[in-house]
Amino acid sequence: MAARPRQTARRASRTGFGKDLLTVSAIPGQAIARLLESARKLKALRRRGARYQPLAGMTLGLLFEKPSTRTRVSFETGMNQLGGQSLFLSLDNIQLSRGETIADTAAVLSRYLDALVVRTFDQAIVEDWARHATIPVINGLTDLCHPCQALSDLLTIQERKGRLKGVKLAYVGDGNNVANSLIEAAAKTGMVISVGCPGDHRPDQGVLDKAREDAARTGAAIEVTDQPQVAVKDADAVYTDVWVSMGHEREQADLLKALAPYQLNERLMKGAKPDAIVMHCLPAHRGQEITAAVLDGPQSVILDQAENRLHMQKAILVELLSKRGSRAAGR
Ligand code: CP
Ligand code: NVA
């Protein structure tokens, strides 16, 4: 029997997603609300020990050009919990490292896999994967952004503060990929975000411009200041991230010097609300971007953040993959 031609997945999903998840800014606000609701339900199911396996028979590929603990393990276990399986593709062991093109690799992997998580350097690379793959491509971190982290963090903030709209999130430190995605997420959900960073380490200007357009619609407020005390003033949540992101090792000396005044410590935390939560996407460097007392203190929600990667990414997988079940079965 002749095989049915494989359709491309270039269609909007239930909640207005495109085929892929490459940035938070590309996701409609309504879709983010639905993802949060779905993640809460999946978390509750998991807590009850209930089985929910809508992705049985499907395979998620993970292609990582940078190290990872949380993203890899939460996607792999999440896919398994949803009934599917996952396949970690080490760059060293696939033909990409010997010059096979992204276009050919993406087209071939699309014949085996149902979705692909890519962790890489330039945002243009993950966009290239998405363009050439007929399956959903999920951004597992680029130099520009870390959308799965920020979406998961929305869940953590919502759990801890009961809402997102009007909640003030302060981010202090390097205006990096995590900061960029948090800005996009705050803009989409009507939060107040204040970024305290040196003038040479501001978040991406394109991200800020687009986020300000979203903020005009949602009532979000976005501030960038070089004064960390201004950023954290009356904050409900205070966030920091490593000073030397993956791929920036050669700038280490400059970064450590420029970012030293932005350390998240007990003195800086005094400016935030007394019940402010402390956030960090991890891995952390105690004594650099954050002190051990703050990171491991009573206000810290870092383990909730790490756990919520699992629940949010399961919601993302269900969103992107649940309508593909019949195709997978007919392969
Ligand atoms: N926060 C985060 O993405 O961690 P990993 O680099 O361990 O995946
Ligand atoms: N900004 C960090 C995040 C790690 C999860 C990095 O890119 O290395």
Q: What is the dihedral of CA 311, 314, 320, 326, to 10 degrees?
A: -150
Angle in degrees, 0-180, between the axes of helices 29-48 and 177-189, rounded to the nearest 10: 100
Displacement of CA 284 from its chain's centroid (Å): 16
What the block records as the tokens of 267 is: 């003195």
DSSP bridge pairs for 170: 194, 238
When pLDDT is cut at 50, 70 and 90, the band that residue 324 belongs to is low
The pLDDT of residue 309 is above 80: yes
63 pLDDT above the threshold of 90: yes
Catalytic residue, candidates 149, 263, 305, 313? 149
Out of 236, 241, 311, 313, which one is annotated catalytic? 241
SS3 state of residue 118:
strand
Give the per-residue pLDDT at 166. Answer: 98
Predicted pLDDT of residue 17: 78
Q: Which ligand is nearest to the CA of 140?
A: 1
- Determine how many CB atoms are found less than 10 A away from the CB of residue 324: 18
Q: How far apart are CA 109 and CA 190, in angstroms?
A: 38
Question: Region 62-82: what's the mean pLDDT?
Answer: 98
For the chain, the structural domain boundaries read 10-145+309-323, 149-306
% residues pLDDT > 90 (the chain): 90
Q: What is the pTM of this model?
A: 0.94
Distance 70 CA to ligand 1 centre (A): 5
CATH superfamily entry for domain 10-145+309-323: Aspartate/ornithine carbamoyltransferase (3.40.50.1370)
245, 255, 290, 305: which to mutate for ligand 2, most atoms within 8 A of CB? 245
Cis previous bond, 283, omega within 30: yes
10-145+309-323 and 149-306 have identical folds: yes
Q: Catalytic annotation on 214?
A: no
Concerning whether 4 is annotated as a catalytic residue, the answer is: no
Tell which atom from ligand 2 comes closest to the C-alpha of 245: 8
Q: Does residue 149 have an active-site annotation?
A: yes
Q: Which tens digit of pLDDT belongs to each residue from 250-282?
A: 999 999 999 999 999 999 999 999 999 999 999
Provide the pLDDT for residue 11: 46
Pairwise CA distance, residues 288 & 293, whole Å: 12
What CATH homologous superfamily does 149-306 map to? Answer: Aspartate/ornithine carbamoyltransferase (3.40.50.1370)
Percent of the chain with pLDDT over 70: 92
3-state SS class at 196:
strand
Res 115 pLDDT > 90: yes
Counting ligands in written order, which one lies closest to the CA of residue 246? 2
56 C-alpha to ligand 2 centroid (Å): 31
Cα 233 to Cα 313: distance, rounded to the nearest angstrom: 32
pLDDT tens per residue across span 14-56: 556 789 999 999 999 999 999 999 999 999 999 999 999 999 9
Give the model confidence (pLDDT) of 125-160 as tens digits: 999 999 999 999 999 999 999 999 999 999 999 999
d(CA 188, CA 216): 10
